[in-house]
Amino acid sequence: MANLRKTYGDVVAVDDVSLTITTGECFAILGPNGAGKTTTVEILEGYRSRDSGEVSVLGVDPAHGGRSWRAQLGIVLQSARDLGDITTHEAVAHFATYYPAPADVDTTIASVGLTDKAAARISTLSGGQRRRVDVALGLIGAPQLLFLDEPTTGFDPQARREFWVLLQQIKAGGTTIMLTTHYLDEAEALADRVAVIAAGRVIALDTPDQIGVGEDDSVEVSWRQDGRMHREFTTSPTSFVGELAAVLGGEIPELVIRRSTLEDRYLALIDQAQSSTS
């Protein structure tokens, strides 16, 4: 997609987004609430129209995607609450009839870990199990490209870890994954590349361990001296600590050397973007 733009009245939801996603990769769009993540993805999914820009998903403009195009996509939306009175197996088997070459129903249910819940009504499942049904419905058409919009919002930590394992398996199966999230650890655990979106623009695009590096690659060194904590940012921590040890004569009290995490770099990026737009 190139120079994608979408406005609602005076509000610019997506300002100028250009991205290329490669077959087989897991691509994450990261950004604060209201940054334009969902709008961008919903344009790619064909749900929303765009004001301008060029978009091609599996070689087709989503605004004119027909049934055979849709059959190659799997979409897992935010917060679906439908199908409560239907069982897991009924739902997956029913959605399989929409596709020309669906995956096997029982295999798909097994792949999301719901074999035990196949005969249970969906309304009786836990939040995490319900989301697995959504993923099963996204996978049943054997898609080439799977969209997941904030898939683990509201999960407890263990359910999230299990869900990540599921997504890693799906990716290993060769499906391209496009994920939006506002959890950094999720992007870190799953994505090959991450785009950070703020105020409708891509402000960074890289692998999770490289994103935001170079903006500020200083390392934080903190220690205790004269009864209080000191903190210093430096790009050469080894020599800094050496000098400090010489000054303090030996062991440095309460020494901590901390390299910036994805979270630090992400927050710095968002900060910059917000101060430049306001």
Partner 1 sequence: MPTAWRIGRGRISLELRQFFRDRESAVFNFALPVLLLIVFGSVFGGQDLGGTDVSFAQYFVAGMIASGILYTSFQNLAISIPIEREDGTLKRLRGTPMPKSSYFMGKVGTVVVAYVAQIIVLITVGRVFYGLAIPTELSAWVTFAWLSALGLIACTLLGIAYSVVPRQGKGASAVVAPVVLVLQFISGVFFIFSDLPTWMQNLASVFPLKWLAQGMRSVFLPESAAALEVSGSFQLPLVALVLSAWCIGGAIAAVVFFRWSPRGTN
Among residues 22, 33, 68, 158, the one that binds partner 1 under rule CB under 8 A: 68
Does residue 98 touch partner 1 according to CB under 8 A? Answer: yes
Does residue 228 touch partner 1 according to CB under 8 A? Answer: no
As a whole number of angstroms, the distance between CA 149 and CA 138 comes to 12
Does residue 34 touch partner 1 according to CB under 8 A? Answer: no
**What is the 3 state secondary structure string of 2-25?**
EEEEEEECCEEEEEEECCCCCCCC
Single-letter amino acid code for the residue at 166 = L
As a whole number of angstroms, the distance between CA 250 and CA 237 comes to 17
As a whole number of angstroms, the distance between CA 19 and CA 29 comes to 10
Binding segment toward partner 1, per CB under 8 A, in 24-32, 83-91, 235-243, 247-255: 83-91
Does residue 233 touch partner 1 according to CB under 8 A? Answer: no
Among residues 94, 127, 144, 224, the one that binds partner 1 under rule CB under 8 A: 94
Does residue 89 touch partner 1 according to CB under 8 A? Answer: no
R_g over Cα of the chain: 23
Shortest distance, CB of residue 157 to partner 1, whole angstroms?
25
Does residue 81 touch partner 1 according to CB under 8 A? Answer: yes
Q: Is the dihedral of CA 36, 38, 39, 43 positive or negative?
A: positive
Site string for partner 1, 157-196 (x = CB under 8 A): ----------------------------------------
Q: Which of 201, 158, 211, 171 is nearest to 24 (CA)?
A: 171
Binding to partner 1 (CB under 8 A) within 42-61 occurs at: 45-49
For residue 18, give Cα distances in angstroms to 27, 180, 202, 203, 226.
14, 16, 8, 11, 52
Q: Which is nearer to partner 1, 29 or 184 (CB)?
A: 29
Shortest distance, CB of residue 142 to partner 1, whole angstroms?
12
User: Which residues have a Cβ under 8 Å from the Cβ of 200 and sit 6 or more positions away?
Assistant: 12, 13, 14, 15, 16, 17, 35, 36
- 77 close to 146: Cβ distance less than 8 angstroms: no
Q: Which is nearer to partner 1, 102 or 212 (CB)?
A: 102
As a whole number of angstroms, the distance between CA 102 and CA 129 comes to 22
Among residues 11, 33, 64, 97, the one that binds partner 1 under rule CB under 8 A: 97
- 68 close to 105: Cβ distance less than 8 angstroms: no
Q: List the 228-234 sheet strands across, edge first.
A: 228-234, 219-225, 256-258
Does residue 141 touch partner 1 according to CB under 8 A? Answer: yes
Q: Which is nearer to partner 1, 49 or 207 (CB)?
A: 49
Does residue 136 touch partner 1 according to CB under 8 A? Answer: no
Among residues 92, 137, 148, 194, the one that binds partner 1 under rule CB under 8 A: 137
Q: Which is nearer to partner 1, 127 or 205 (CB)?
A: 127
Interface contacts to partner 1, rule CB under 8 A: 8, 45-49, 67-68, 70-71, 73, 75, 77, 79-83, 85-86, 90, 94-95, 97-100, 121, 137, 141
